[in-house]
Chains A and B, each alone.
Chain A
Amino acid sequence: MADSVLDILLAVLILLGGLFTFIGSLGLVRLRDFYSRLHGPTKATTLGVGSLLIASMVHFSLRGEGLSLHELLVTFFLFITAPVSAHLLSKAALHLRVQSVAKMPAIIEEVEEASTRTEPHR
């Protein structure tokens, strides 16, 4: 009895994880510009992977050999790397003036112009 309750719980977690990962990827298709598309992979996927990892942690802690917590590290590394890669991607996109639905912030133009003026030979 307890086993089947656990199985249902794990199944729900895995399905939820799959659902959120799917919505994150759907964002890549549905959103309209490069910058908005960055939101899908950094957010919705975090929760998706999160529920998959919780399912893995519960499963291997109860069925495997003792406590299994290295899934926490995956979460930790994901939280560190996802925002950094999103930041670098959008920084590159802003530098290349990739088209956006939103109005481009004026400050980038100003700063980049100022820096090419001070170092003209490169």
Chain B
Amino acid sequence: MKLRLLPHPILTPVLTLIWILLSNSFDPGNLLLGLLLGWAIPIFTLRFWPERIRIHRPLTLLRFIAMLLHDILTANLTVAWLILRGPRRVAPGFVVVPLDLRSDLGISLLANTISLTPGTVSAWLDPERRNLVVHGLNVRNPEALVESIKQRYETPLLEIFEPC
């Protein structure tokens, strides 16, 4: 196996940032230690990261994160309201979302996104990774739900991680 000096260029700044936040101090010595860890950890955990992560549209990623935060906020309010209003009036249901994403990272991010946003939890992924089963807390129109998941979350993730 060829040893590269910087196997995962994105992981290094992320790990450095996590180190700085963990130690909760911003002096230069700490930053240096963080950079060292950010450089060394990806090399020692190389086998754990089979795919190299590539971000193709950083701006789309930022917009996606902003949208996600907004959706998480509304998700919380929606679910809180559904719980308070009483369970008799909700209509839970399962929907199957056919996946266009192929990379492991893309699929995990999509599943995480679905679980964090309004009234849906990702429940099951088939072994071929072609379909994701999603449980919705209040499903009145299954087709519209699948369509909105694909439009709102899968399309930007496809653009960011797997452009054609």
Contacts and interface: CB of A to CB of B under 8 A. Distances in A.
B21 A70 contact: yes
Given A46-B76, A73-B18, A83-B112, A39 B119 contact: yes
B122 A83 contact: yes
A83 B116 contact: yes
A38 B79 contact: no
A87 B112 CA distance: 9
A105 B22 CA distance: 42
Interface residues of A, number: 46
Contacts of A24: 80, 83
Interface residues of B, number: 42
Interface string A26-41: 1100111101101110
A58 interface: no
Contacts of B115: 42, 82-83, 86-87
A86 B121 contact: yes
Contacts of B111: 83, 87
Given A44-B80, A67-B26, A36 B87 contact: yes
A23 B91 CA distance: 19
Given A27-B79, A39-B79, A87-B123, A105 B112 contact: no
Contacts of A33: 92
Chief secondary structure at chain A's binding surface:
helix
A104 to B, nearest CB: 7
A87 B122 CA distance: 6
A56 to B, nearest CB: 12
Given A36-B87, A40-B79, A69-B21, A79 B94 contact: no
A30 B93 contact: no
B96 interface: yes
A5 to B, nearest CB: 24
A107 B111 CA distance: 18
A43 B116 contact: yes
Interface in B125-144: 125-127, 131, 133, 135, 137, 139
Interface of A: 20, 23-24, 26-27, 30-33, 35-36, 38-40, 42-44, 46-47, 66-70, 72-73, 79-80, 82-84, 86-87, 90-91, 94, 100-105, 107-108, 111, 115
Given A82-B116, A102-B93, 17 more contacts: A26-B83, A30-B83, A35-B123, A36-B92, A47-B73, A47-B76, A80-B112, A83-B115, A83-B122, A86-B122, A87-B111, A87-B115, A102-B139, A105-B95, A107-B96, A107-B133, A111-B127
